Amino acid sequence: MFKGYSLLKYTIKRILQLIPILFAITFLSFAMMRLAGSDVVEQKMLNTGQVVTDAQLEAAKAQLGLDKPFLVQYITWLNDLLHGDMGVSFVSGMDVFDTFISKLPATLFLTVTSIVLTVIISIPLGIISAVYKNKFWDYFIRFFSFIGNSMPNFFVSLVLMYILGIKLRFFPIISREMSFESVAMPTITLAIAMSAKYLRQVRTTVLDELGKDYIMGAKARGVKFSTTLWKSVMRESLVTIITLLALSIGSLLGGTAIVESIFMWDGVGKMAVDAINMRDYPIIQAYVMWMAIIYVTVNLITDLSYRLLDPRIRLEGTDNE
C-alpha cells in the first residue's frame, strides 16, 4: 500500500527523470539542426533575395556565435540557460523567454476550447454508439467519425474556411484577437479530428465495460441499466478517457503547427514552424524543452490520476524498486 510519502517520492523521482531527458533532447535537437546545413544567416539572405559579401556573411555569423564549433555553441547555450538566460531569437532579436511566454496564451486558449468541444462531442456520441451497438445510430455516428478521422486537418481547415468563412460568413478568416468568434474555426478543425478519434475510444471503452461480468450480475440483480451505465460503466471508463485527454492536452499544448499556421493563430506551434524554417536555434531549443516538459508532466499526471481513480493500479516504475 502506498502512503502520501511514497506518492510524493514518486512524483519527485519522475520530475528528476526530466533532467536527463531535457539534456539529451536539447543536445540532439541542437546537433541535428546544426548538421542540417544552412543557418539563419543564409535563410534571411534567401528571403530578402539580396546578396551580401562573404565577409559580411561571416561577420553576421560571428555576431550570433555561429562560427564557433558546435560543442562550444551548445555549452554556451547551456551555461546561459543555467543562469536563467535563454538567449535572444536570431531572427527577431527579441528575448526567447518573452517571445515564448507571449505565444503561450493563444495556444492555451485554443487547447481549452478544443478539448472542451471534443469532450462535448465525443463522450455523448461515444456512449450512444456503444449502447446502440450495430444499430442505426451506431453506424450513423461511426460513419461520421470515419470521415472526420480520414481527412488531413489542413484539408479540413481549408474547407471550413471556405464554407464558414466565405459562403456563410459566420466567422472571420483571420483570428485576430482571442475571442470565441476568432477561435471557432481552429477549434472546430481540431475538434473534428480529435472527436472522431476519441469517440471510437470512448465507444470501445464503454463496450469493454458493458461486456464485463459485473454488468451481467447487475442486470441479474435487477439494477436499472441507466444506473449501471452512469455509476459503474462511466466510473470505470473514466480512467481511459482521462488518459486520452491528458495525451491530447499534451499534444495541443505543443501547438498544432499546421492549424495554427493556416489560421494565423499566433501560438507556440506557429512559432515552432517559423523557427524551424528559419533555423532560429534559440527558439527551437525553447520549443523542444517545452515539449519535453509537457510530455513528462502529462505522463506523470496520467499515472497519478490512475492511482487516485483506481487504487488497484500500481504505479509504473515503482514495481522494480
Restricted to residues 294-313, the positions that interact with another protein (CB under 8 A) are 295-296, 299
| Residues with Cβ within 8 Å of residue 200, at least 6 apart in sequence | 126, 142, 145, 149
One-letter identity of residue 210: L
- 49 near another protein, judged by CB under 8 A: yes
Q: Which of 6, 204, 232, 318 binds another protein (CB under 8 A)?
A: 204
Binding mask 145-164 for another protein (x = CB under 8 A): -xx-xxxx-xx--xx-xx-x
Q: What is residue 27's three-state secondary structure?
A: helix
Give the 3-state secondary structure of residue 95.
strand
Q: Which residue's CB is nearer to another protein, number 81 or number 284? A: 284
Taking the alpha carbons at both ends of the chain, their separation in whole angstroms is: 14
Smallest Cα–Cα separation from 48: which of 87, 91, 93, 99?
Answer: 91
| Interface of this chain with another protein, residues 254 to 283, rule: CB under 8 A | 254, 257-258, 261-264, 266, 272-274, 276-278
Q: How far is the CB of 248 from another protein (least distance, A)?
A: 13
Which of 15, 170, 235, 310: binder of another protein (CB under 8 A)? 170
Question: Looking up cell 446502440, which residue turns up?
Answer: 132
Q: Decide: is 315 part of the binding site for another protein (CB under 8 A).
A: no
The verdict on 76 binding another protein (CB under 8 A) reads no
Q: Name residue 95's beta-bridge partners.
A: 88
CB of 249 within 8 A of CB of 261? Answer: no
Residue among 70, 139, 180, 214 that touches another protein (CB under 8 A): 180
C-alpha cell at 242: 482521462
Nearer to another protein, 111 or 205 (CB): 205
Q: Which residue has the cell 518573452?
A: 98
Closest distance of CB 253 from another protein, Å: 12
* 108 versus 164: smaller Cβ distance to another protein: 164
Footprint on residues 84-123 left by another protein (CB under 8 A):
89, 91-94, 117, 120-121, 123
Query: Shortest gap between Cβ of 112 and another protein (angstroms)?
Result: 15
Beta-ladder partners of 88? 95
Binding mask 9-38 for another protein (x = CB under 8 A): --------x--xx--xx--xx--xx-xxxx
Q: Which residues contact 206 (CB under 8 A, 6 or more apart)?
A: 126, 127, 130, 131, 233, 237
Q: How far is the CB of 170 from another protein (least distance, A)?
A: 4
Q: Which amino acid is at 51?
A: V
Alpha-helical runs (H) found in 255-312? 257-262, 268-278, 281-309
Closest approach of Cβ 131 to another protein, in Å? Answer: 5
Contact assessment for residue 260 and residue 269, using Cβ atoms and an 8 Å cutoff: yes
Cβ 108 to another protein shortest distance, Å: 18
Residue 52 engages another protein in binding (rule: CB under 8 A):
yes
Pick the closer one to another protein by CB: 4 or 226: 226
| Cβ atoms of 170 and 190 closer than 8 Å | no
**According to CB under 8 A, which one of 2, 8, 15, 47 is a site residue for another protein?**
47
Contacts of another protein in 214-243 (CB under 8 A): 224-227, 229-230, 240, 243
- φ/ψ of 249, rounded to 5, equals -60, -40
